[in-house]
Every structure is written in C-alpha cells, then in structure tokens.
Amino acid sequence: MTSLRSWVPALFALLAIYPFLPFAEANRGEQFTILFIYAILALGLNVVIGYTGLLHLGIAAFFGIGAYTVGILTVPFFPFQQSFLVAAIAATLLAAFVGVVTTAPILRLRGDYLALVTLGFGLITLYAIRNLDAITEGTKGLNPIEAGPIPGVAEDVDLSSLKVNSEWGVRWYKYPYLYFLALGTLGMVMVFLRNLERSRLGRAWIALREDELAASCMGLNPARLKLSAIAIGAGLAGLAGAFYAMALRTTGNPQGYDFTLSMIMVCCVILGGLGNRPGVLLGVFLLMGFDRIATNMLDNLIQEQIGTGGSNYLKVSGWKLSIFGMVLILMMRFRPAGLLPEKRVACELSEGVGERGEETVNTKPGTG
C-alpha cells in the first residue's frame, strides 16, 4: 500500500505543472478540469458506497443541486449575484442537507429497495430540474455563470487576464485558474477524506459496512452514521456540481445530471477500487478520461490515418458503449475488488461477508 500512497502526490505535482509544459493545450486543460470535478463527485460517492456500503444510485441529483445552486446564486437572471465562493459553499451545504432529508425516512429500507429509492430520487430531481423552467430555464440551462470575485484577488481584476502566461506554454484563454482551483480542491478533498478515514467516524463506517448488526451491538448508531456519510458524500457531490457549472459557465442541459451519470460514477468507484481513494481517482481518470478525451483523440487519429468518412463502425466513439461494457464485465470477472483494491474490501469480497447468503431465504416467487 505504501507504493500506492506515494504516486498520488506525484500525480498531483505533475498535474500542477502541466499547464506550464510546452505541449499544454487550453482545450485539454479544460477537459482535465472536468475530470477533476468528476473525481470529486466520485470521491463523494465513495464515502456513501465504499465506506458505509449503501448502494446509492442517485448521486447525480446532488451534483445537479450543486450546479443549479451556483447557477441561481450567480447568474444575472436572479437578484442574488453572489461570488463563486459563497455559491459553492451554499451548494455544498444545500446538497448535504437535501441528502440527509431525503435519506432519513428511507434508512429502514434494505439493500436493493434502498438502491431503487435513491434511483427514483435521482430521477425526480432530474425531472424537477427539467420541468421547473421558470427557475432552471429547462433544457437551455442557467447562464452565463461568470466567475465572481475570487478570494485574494481584487474585485475589479479582469478574470480573463489571469491566464497562464508561460514562455513556452500555450496560452490558455479561458479561466485557467479554474484548473488550479479544481485541482487544489481535489487535493484538499483527498487529504480531508484520508483524515476522515482514520478518524473515529471513518472507523465506525467501516465497522458498519462489515457487519451492521455487530456494529450496532457495540454501541454504534447505524442511522446516524449512515446519515453522516450521506451528508458528506452529498456535500462533496454538491461541491463538484458547483465546479461543474462554473467550468461550463452554464448549468447546461439537465441531461448532464441523469441516471447514466450516477451509474457511470458507481462504475468508476467500483472499477478503481471500492473504498480506496487513489483507486477511485484512477477509476475516474480511466473511465471518464476514456469517455471525454481518449475517444475523441483516437477518432481523430483514425480519421487522419485511414479517413473513415463518418462511418460509425470505424470510429472508437461508435464502439464506446461496448468498450465500456467489456471493461466492466472483464474487471468484475477477474479483479472484482477493483484496479487498486482496498485491503479490507478485498478481504470482505473474497469471504463474501454480509452481502450474499443472509437475505436468500426471504424471497418467495409465486406464493404471494
């Protein structure tokens, strides 16, 4: 595990100097920013699924709540006109609050019923975002979301002048500071979660995941622990949503907060290594990186080499879903604990603790 711990700071250092490198492109830099944002989202989901073992299928809802909170608090359309800092804090708190309020009544549901209700909650949030066009502008999205005053920068500074102006680096024309802001936030989230894992609360979550009954017999309060995990997970998702709206400078199409996103995030977390922060980071960079960056690069490459003439069969993006599917299937077959397995999770998986067996007796088709 020590070798894993050491590559994460190295990766962050590399990403921090990336904009100054000669081959850095504005476009790529913006795509990386989106990856950092999704990484924050996945780390939030990891708190819920990885630490406490609640299968949450509606994390995109909190992402959307965060994005729209920032939208409402900053766009000229509304009278609030807050700075991004205030809006991001509000987004985080609101998402955490909604997470607790919507999860508290359903905690007594078990396993898959809980998963379905979270899925339903995610969809209802999506429909609400899409349909309440008086507030959310429907499919047009709230825009423009401009960067408000940044802490430490005088208010009248033109933000577009804050570009990375290195001698050899390509000049970034759009908000390169958001790249550093997202990267820095991601780093802080990583450190925060590491400390959390080692805290009393984090250890209690793990105990709960391994055996809820035993944990509650030892005096832990499962409901309170689960709610605190949801609050932190949803809060991080809201924070990620705030950054997302900021990076896009619009809340975009509500489609960006749909069930597919929730599902892909679950896949990222499981693919990388359930409960393992560096693993989750890797899972997001691989899956979302493939989705957002690599397919386009490969498409362009193929186009240059053989000239596909628009045929989907010859494009990587045409096969994207299949590649995704194959990766998930093969991973689950040969490395079910993820690319970077968390030791305890790997043990739990190989022993099959808790998950299977305990509920098999209860369902009776045909006799209801």
Contacts with other proteins by CB under 8 A lie at 55, 105-106, 108-113, 115-117, 120-121, 123-124, 127-128, 130-131, 213, 259, 263, 266-267, 270-271, 274, 312-313, 318-322, 324-329, 331-333, 336, 348-349, 352, 355-356, 358-368
Pick between residue 25 and residue 355 the one whose CB is nearest to other proteins: 355
Structure tokens at 11: 């990766």
- Residue 231 CB, nearest distance to other proteins (Å)? 20
- Residue 127 CB, nearest distance to other proteins (Å)? 4
d(CA 250, CA 259): 20
Pick between residue 153 and residue 329 the one whose CB is nearest to other proteins: 329
- Residue 27 CB, nearest distance to other proteins (Å)? 26
Q: What is the 3-state secondary structure (H, E, C) of 161-193?
A: HCCCCCCCCCCCCCCHHHHHHHHHHHHHHHHHH
Pick between residue 267 and residue 284 the one whose CB is nearest to other proteins: 267
d(CA 174, CA 301): 26
- Residue 112 CB, nearest distance to other proteins (Å)? 6
Could you count the other beta carbons within 10 Å of the beta carbon of residue 254?
Answer: 23
| Structural element, H or E, at residue 61 | helix 59-74
Q: What is each CA distance from 202 to 10, 43, 190, in whole angstroms?
A: 25, 14, 14
- Residue 105 CB, nearest distance to other proteins (Å)? 6
Q: Are 244 and 37 in contact (CB under 8 A)?
A: yes
- Residue 313 CB, nearest distance to other proteins (Å)? 7
Pick between residue 48 and residue 181 the one whose CB is nearest to other proteins: 48
Pick between residue 292 and residue 320 the one whose CB is nearest to other proteins: 320
d(CA 211, CA 347): 13
**Chain centroid offset of residue 127 CA:** 20
Structure tokens at 178: 């958001």
Pick between residue 305 and residue 312 the one whose CB is nearest to other proteins: 312
